[in-house]
Chain A
Amino acid sequence: MTDDTTGAPREPGGQWYDQEAGPLVRPYAVTGGRTAPGPTGVRFDLIALVTLDPAAPADDDPALGPEHRTLIDLCRPETQSVAELAAGADLPVGVVRVLLGDLLERGRVTVSRPVPPAQLPDERVLREVIAGLRAL
């Protein structure tokens, strides 16, 4: 019962297998089985940009799981796209979308919607992009 001499508290059922065993949790288990973001109903584009809401409460929200926290941590240094978050957290984009929906509802992040195709960048932006590419 008390074979664990490291003193570190262990979650029940955790840490039994090493990485080689592969994922032990089905992707949508971390979302509680939800495959679509909550009532806000927004579908985040791959390049939607996620920023931590500076007005977010600093105290830890017990409703947030470790994956939510991972996403928050990834956004801490700089704004991240949904695609980058998925790669960084090693989760499918669909799962990240659900988790981001939670964070959005809880006011932890803001998500910018990419420019709609019809209004695709004005000339000034395109010129800036071309100049930026030339300077690479």
Chain B
Amino acid sequence: MTPEHPDAPAGETTALALKILVAGGFGVGKTTLVGAVSEIRPLRTEEMLSEAGRTVDDTDGVDHKVTTTVAMDFGRITIRSGLSLYLFGTPGQDRFWFLWDELAQGALGAVVLADTRRLEDCFPAVDYFEHRKIPFVVAVNCFAGARRHDTGSVCRALDLDPGTPVVLCDARERVSGKEVLIQLVEYAGRMHTARLLDSVG
């Protein structure tokens, strides 16, 4: 018996934490965005993650396990006492791809940061979240010197599912980052409601 309370109602006394992932290509501004909205200086944590069950033949009984250490930056926003939002910058390198499953588990949603000068960098993140039906918004980080694109053309270039929000942002600005998160939470709420309706309909 563990002293956990998984079935406790989300009442005022139960502390609740929500997880939002910030994904995108290397150097697109993930840590910058986390830092802009976080109330704490972004912290760095090292996760030792294992790649288990990736073998094609699992009947040999051999546990092929590979562990990798990966650094993640994260920040926190306290909504009120007992309700906080944690933001995790996902590892940008493709070779850490398989780690995402652990990070994504239980996530409320994700922000895919995009740079229009190298939009293809965020394709894998878009694919990942679409396949796992994790709500995400695409936030185009408007770097100085980058040509401005309208959100419609970004949406077409990424071949996004209809309804996926695309927002322009400046990852350095708190107000801008805040707006991205609001869009995400609203969208996650809409997805959630739609799924509930599907399940009863």
A130 to B79, CA, bound (A): 9
Known: A46-B19, A47-B86, A94-B47. A113 touches B10 (CB 8 A): no
Give residues of chain A (52-104) contacting chain B, Cβ–Cβ below 8 Å.
53, 79, 81, 83-84, 86-88, 92-95, 104
B193 to chain A, nearest CB (A): 8
Q: Please indicate the chain B residues that have their CB under 8 angstroms from the CB of A83 in the complex.
A: 43, 45, 72, 74, 86, 88
| Identity of the chain B residue whose Cβ is nearest the Cβ of A78 in the assembled complex | B81
* CB<8 Å pairs between A and B, sample of 10: A46-B45, A46-B88, A47-B17, A83-B43, A112-B4, A112-B15, A114-B106, A120-B188, A121-B16, A126-B192
A119 to chain B, nearest CB (A): 9
Known: A126-B185, A129-B83. A49 touches B15 (CB 8 A): yes
By the criterion CB–CB under 8 Å, are A116 and B15 in contact?
Answer: no
By the criterion CB–CB under 8 Å, are A136 and B19 in contact?
Answer: no
A47 to B44, CA, bound (A): 14
Q: Please indicate the chain B residues that have their CB under 8 angstroms from the CB of A113 in the complex.
A: 4-6
Any A CB within 8 A of the CB of B189: yes
Q: Please indicate the chain B residues that have their CB under 8 angstroms from the CB of A93 in the complex.
A: 45-48
Any B CB within 8 A of the CB of A134: yes
Footprint of A on B, CB under 8 Å? 2-6, 10, 14-19, 37, 43-49, 67, 69, 72, 74, 76-77, 79-80, 83-86, 88, 103, 105-108, 174, 178, 181-182, 185-186, 188-189, 192-193
Among B2, B3, B17, contact of A81 (Cβ-Cβ < 8 Å): B17
By the criterion CB–CB under 8 Å, are B106 and A116 in contact?
Answer: yes
Footprint of B on A, CB under 8 Å? 27, 40, 42, 45-49, 51, 53, 79, 81, 83-84, 86-88, 92-95, 104, 107, 110-117, 120-123, 125-130, 132-134, 136
Known: A87-B43, A104-B2, A129-B83. A92 touches B106 (CB 8 A): no
Q: Please indicate the chain B residues that have their CB under 8 angstroms from the CB of A112 in the complex.
A: 4-5, 14-15, 17
B190 to chain A, nearest CB (A): 10
By the criterion CB–CB under 8 Å, are B3 and A110 in contact?
Answer: yes
What are the nearest 10 A-B pairs in CB distance?
A: A132-B79, A87-B43, A94-B48, A47-B17, A86-B45, A92-B46, A126-B189, A93-B47, A87-B45, A113-B6
By the criterion CB–CB under 8 Å, are A114 and B19 in contact?
Answer: yes
By the criterion CB–CB under 8 Å, are B43 and A84 in contact?
Answer: yes
By the criterion CB–CB under 8 Å, are B15 and A51 in contact?
Answer: yes
Beyond the given pairs A81-B76, A133-B178, 20 more chain A to chain B contacts, judged by CB atoms under 8 angstroms and listed by A's residue number, are: A27-B48, A46-B47, A47-B17, A51-B15, A84-B43, A87-B74, A92-B45, A94-B48, A112-B14, A113-B4, A120-B192, A121-B10, A121-B16, A121-B108, A125-B10, A128-B79, A132-B80, A133-B77, A133-B79, A133-B185
By the criterion CB–CB under 8 Å, are B3 and A104 in contact?
Answer: yes
